[in-house]
Amino acid sequence: MESIIRLENVSFSYKINEKTKVSVLKNISFSIFPGEYVAIIGHNGSGKSTLSKHLNGILTPDSGDVWVHGHNTKDVNKKRSIRQAVGTVFQHPDNQIVATIVEEDVAFGLENIGVPREEMKKRVDEALNVVKMSQFRHRPPHHLSGGQKQRVAIAGVLAMKPDCIVFDEATSMLDSFGRKEVLQVMRKMNNMGMTIITVTHHMSEAAEADRIIVIEGGQIVMDGPPREIFKHKLELENLQLEVPSVSQMAEVIHRKFTTFSKDIIQESEFIEEVEKFHKAEVGT
Ligand code: ADP
């Protein structure tokens, strides 16, 4: 299968001044394929955000290459089509809202690329519908909750019809309710066929993805399905990462009640297991 994004031996340093450079990404290679839902995790300072900015050419490598649909992100003539193919939702919802009315905000990017009026209206309707914000379309965004604002920002990216959306710590400013809302939207968009990449330090969020890439010191140290990755509890601890809290709880319960499964990584699985256990023990 053709990849959407391909990184080949990517290295990158920030230039602090004429003499000093901070080497952040070191020889990273991987591909993202259509329809994948990938979480990139790593502790603070491991290079996640720098890596995510390479996925659509916000940053370009010092050596190595990033290819989006076969176009090199260093090719200035392809910048626009690359940004259109790979959209980004950032951390702060407030910084992404530009208009004073929700539907105008969602339409903003479309106006910039000159999408005809009728098509624009259709795309705004569809995008607001996906993120369940249609009833707020005439409201000023600054009256919305953090999670709602982030869903408006997602609708703005979605309306551009990208092939892939990168969520760069997009839930880290939200409360647990807002985070849940945004996670549901990510899953829904992935079920609709959209490729999702989420950069996160929340393990519960990474557990929702189909593939996890772990980075440490600007290098990939693990790449696999969440259930496999979270089996490496000690290695993760050495990388200053934890398994999801529901996995930790399941393990504690399993030690006392061996029939309670410890192979749990998602909240929904934990709830199911509690119900199953309760039925078996109490018989109701
Ligand atoms: P993460 O997202 O995993 O926290 P970052 O990619 O933000 O990691 O940062 C990786 C390293 O690069 C850190 O040491 C950070 O201090 C450094 N860094 C990030 N942005 C800049 C910048 N604009 N200028 C200089 N150094 C930076």
Which residue, judged by its Cα, is nearest atom 5 of ligand 1? 47
Distance 69 CA to ligand 1 centre (A): 27
Which residue, judged by its Cα, is nearest atom 27 of ligand 1? 14
Contact 169, 148 (CB under 8 A): no
- Give the model's pLDDT for residue 193: 93
For ligand 1, whether the C-beta of 24 sits within 6 Å is: yes
For ligand 1, whether the C-beta of 49 sits within 6 Å is: yes
Q: List all residues 6 or more positions away from 150 whose beta carbon is below 8 Å from its beta carbon.
A: 89, 93, 170, 171, 174, 178, 181, 182
For residue 110, which amino acid is it?
A: L
For ligand 1, whether the C-beta of 42 sits within 6 Å is: yes
- Residue extents of the structural domains in the chain: 5-243, 244-284
- Give the model's pLDDT for residue 181: 86
Contact 244, 207 (CB under 8 A): yes
Of 141, 145, 163, 136, whose CA–CA distance to 81 is shortest?
163
What are the mean pLDDT values of the chain's consecutive 10-residue runs (284 residues total)? 95 94 96 97 94 95 97 95 92 86 94 92 94 94 90 93 93 84 90 95 93 97 97 94 93 92 92 89 68
CA dihedral 236, 241, 244, 247 (to 10 degrees): 40
Residue 79, helix vs strand vs coil: helix
Structure tokens at 219: 């290098």
Q: Which atom of ligand 1 has the smallest separation from the CA of 50?
A: 6
Structure-token match 């880290």, residue found: 172
Distance 37 CA to ligand 1 centre (A): 24
- Give the model's pLDDT for residue 93: 81
For ligand 1, whether the C-beta of 141 sits within 6 Å is: no
Burial class (CB in 10 A: 0-12, 13-18, 19+), 254: middle
For ligand 1, whether the C-beta of 179 sits within 6 Å is: no
For ligand 1, whether the C-beta of 280 sits within 6 Å is: no
CA distance 52 to 165: 11
Distances (CA, A) of 221 to 5, 145, 215: 19, 37, 6
- Give the model's pLDDT for residue 176: 84
For ligand 1, whether the C-beta of 17 sits within 6 Å is: no
Which residue, judged by its Cα, is nearest atom 15 of ligand 1? 45
Structure-token match 């061996």, residue found: 258
- Give the model's pLDDT for residue 96: 82
For Cα atoms 60, 62, 68, give the angle at the middle one, nearest 5 degrees.
35
- Give the model's pLDDT for residue 283: 67
- Give the model's pLDDT for residue 97: 86
Q: List all residues 6 or more positions away from 113 whose beta carbon is below 8 Å from its beta carbon.
A: 84, 160
Residue 71, helix vs strand vs coil: strand
For ligand 1, whether the C-beta of 20 sits within 6 Å is: no
Residue 168, helix vs strand vs coil: strand
- Give the model's pLDDT for residue 144: 92
- Give the model's pLDDT for residue 214: 97
Q: State which fold the 5-243 domain adopts.
A: Rossmann fold (3.40.50)
Q: What's the predicted TM-score (pTM) here?
A: 0.92
Q: How far is CA 151 from the centre of its chain?
A: 13
Q: List all residues 6 or more positions away from 234 whose beta carbon is below 8 Å from its beta carbon.
A: none
72, β-bridge pairs: 67
- For 152-181, write each residue's pLDDT tens digit: 999 999 999 999 999 999 888 888 888 888
